Chain A
């Protein structure tokens, strides 16, 4: 990929991120931050490639730490986001409030 094409991708992706988030209600700010935190867990594929090309013990050690951290980012980000979003329900989607005894 040439430098200019890369720059175009960067610009378009930046606008995409801005547009996707710009009309979000406040109630979703925390889950969304958590969700975007999960999305940058894609660093895992880069860490895998870096470790996959490492030769010296130093490179391998740092690469190992990189993959470990990246996997933590991806998995942890997914689990907490999913747990949060699972709980969002509207009153139409739930059973009627419990009657007092």
Chain B
């Protein structure tokens, strides 16, 4: 090995070490709202260092292909990332994640096609990373399509689990042939990747929209794992460390999300609850009692404590700015006001916080379920806007309900509940909401943005 290669190698190893440090520090900083902003800058610096130094990699060629590929992929992602609305962030995460999984699978494919892996261990790792990356790629694209509304139906048929199992088994057999170096022909390697890609599709298609966040988080962890495995193949420490950190952090996040939704991971992957429109309707007694915006406004203006419970419906109606305007008016009047966020409000845990932050709501006015639930009993008004299942008391009482056992916000315990709702339909999960029928609940019908604008007028009119 020539001396210049040695020094290049040293520079590369040192840079990758620095990158690993910057990534871990960056993620650590991202776990507190105070330092989160700087966290992504640190991680970004790490990525830049690693990418630039990789151009010095010994024996690299095809620069005329590498540069345009980075340029095209980077510009497209930059453009799409800059212009996506905050409500659509979850599907963009799915899309970018799928791209990472696809890239890991592509690395495996190139190495396996060219026979670049040496020994059983390396080949096995390449195969393992290949199948995980390919499943994550096609699965994430389906998740993107579902959340973006491109795929509206959940395709289910009898024997679907069996088909998935057969696909997995077939892919594993071909993978084992390659890994055991019995047959690494073009046909076998290609067949292996095609089966893995199809498996990702058939695994994800039956999963309903409501469960997609958990699925995206799972694929995020899987992509991390695939990247780490290909890192072993390429002997690349930065990929091993970053991939593994994301793999384990992503697994933990997936568990937290599944727990917040009261679903086990197996449940999410192998049952189709996510969008069951006809599941257990449950009988509810009582009637829906409408209220005028002017009355609701007066009620809130003279309250001493108001808790706002926003849901994804608020974001869809683009009402978050109006809600914050209303909140500021109430705070001006001396009302003690808080936002209560359910872990799965929005399209994924924490998504609602992002949407409120976009509207300018300071994060210290926002409380999560554990912090706020005891406070509903002392609240004069709970304003529920665009939220449904996360405030449905049947989760506490009705053992037959699909959401039984899910932790909910105790909005029903407030002295008065005002629900802003477009119409009389059921929630995302199709379950009738007992909260709406309670004696202390009043329904304010109308488009979210318009209804809140009327509330603002009503509060202003109080003077």
Partner-B contacts on A (CB < 8 A): 1, 3, 6, 9-10, 13-18, 20-56, 58-60, 62-94, 97-100
Among A26, A28, A50, A52, the most chain B Cβ lie within 10 Å of the Cβ of A26
A79 and B78 contact, CB distance less than 8 A: yes
Instruction: Flag if B69 contacts A64 (CB, 8 Å).
Output: yes
Contact B33 A32 (CB under 8 A): no
User: Which residue of chain B has the shortest Cβ distance to A94 in the bound complex?
Assistant: B362
The answer to whether A46 and B227 have CB atoms under 8 Å apart is yes
Residues of B within 8 A of A98 (CB): 328
Q: Name, among A6, A18, A49, A89, the residue most crowded by chain B CB atoms within 10 Å (CB to CB).
A: A49
Stretch of B252-260, B306-314, B436-444, B447-455 lying at the A interface: B252-260
Question: Chain A contacts of B23 at CB under 8 A?
Answer: 39, 42
| Given A31-B30, A51-B110, CB of A40 within 8 Å of CB of B223 | yes
Tell me if B114 is interfacial: C-beta within 8 Å of chain A. yes
B175 on interface, CB distance cutoff 8 Å: no
Residue of B nearest to A27 (CB): B353
Q: Of A22, A37, A66, which is within 8 A of B110 by CB?
A: A66
In the assembly, what is the distance between CA of A24 and CA of B106, in Å? 33
- Bound together, the chains give a CA A75 to CA B79 distance in angstroms of 10
Q: Verify B111–A39 contact, CB threshold 8 A.
A: no
Q: Residue B281 at the A interface, CB < 8 A?
A: no
Q: Distance in Å from the Cβ of B101 to the closest Cβ of chain A?
A: 8
Binds A, one of B201-209, B269-277, B363-371: B363-371
**Contact of B248 with A18 in the complex, beta carbons under 8 Å:** yes
Q: How far is the CA of A41 from the CA of B137 in the complex (A)?
A: 13
Residues of A within 8 A of B249 (CB): 17-18, 20-21, 32, 36
Taking the closest CB of chain B, its distance from the CB of A98, in whole angstroms, is: 6
Seed contacts A28-B31, A70-B100, A77-B100; 18 additional CB < 8 Å A-B pairs: A10-B228, A25-B368, A32-B350, A33-B348, A35-B26, A38-B44, A39-B43, A49-B60, A50-B107, A63-B110, A72-B96, A73-B77, A73-B96, A73-B99, A74-B77, A78-B44, A93-B362, A100-B460
A53 to B235, CA, bound (A): 14
Which chain A positions have C-beta within 8 A of B260? 26
In the complex, which residues of chain B have a beta carbon less than 8 angstroms from the beta carbon of A73?
A: 77, 96-97, 99-100, 103
Contact B99 A35 (CB under 8 A): no
B350 touches A51 (CB 8 A): no
Complex contact B114–A55 (CB within 8 A): yes
Is B244 a contact of A72 with CB atoms below 8 Å? no
A21 lies within 8 A of B252 (CB): yes
Counting chain B CB atoms within 10 Å of each CB, which of A3, A13, A42 scores highest?
A: A42
Main secondary structure of the interface of B (DSSP, over half): helix
Q: For B369, list chain A residues within 8 Å (CB).
A: 26
Instruction: From B86-94, B288-296, B378-386, B416-424, give the one contacting chain A.
Output: B86-94
Closest residue on chain A to residue B90 by CB atoms:
A30
Total chain B interface residues with beta-carbon distance under 8 A? 127
A29 to B89, CA, bound (A): 13
Give min CB distance, A52 to chain B, whole Å. 3
**Known A30-B351, A59-B114: A69·B37 in contact at CB below 8 Å:** no
Cβ of A99: which chain B residues have Cβ within 8 Å of it? Answer: 332
**What's the Cα separation between A30 and B349 when bound, in Å?**
6
Q: How far is the CA of A48 from the CA of B329 in the complex (A)?
A: 54
B162 within 8 A of A: no
Complex contacts, A78 vs chain B, CB 8 Å: 40, 43-44, 47, 81
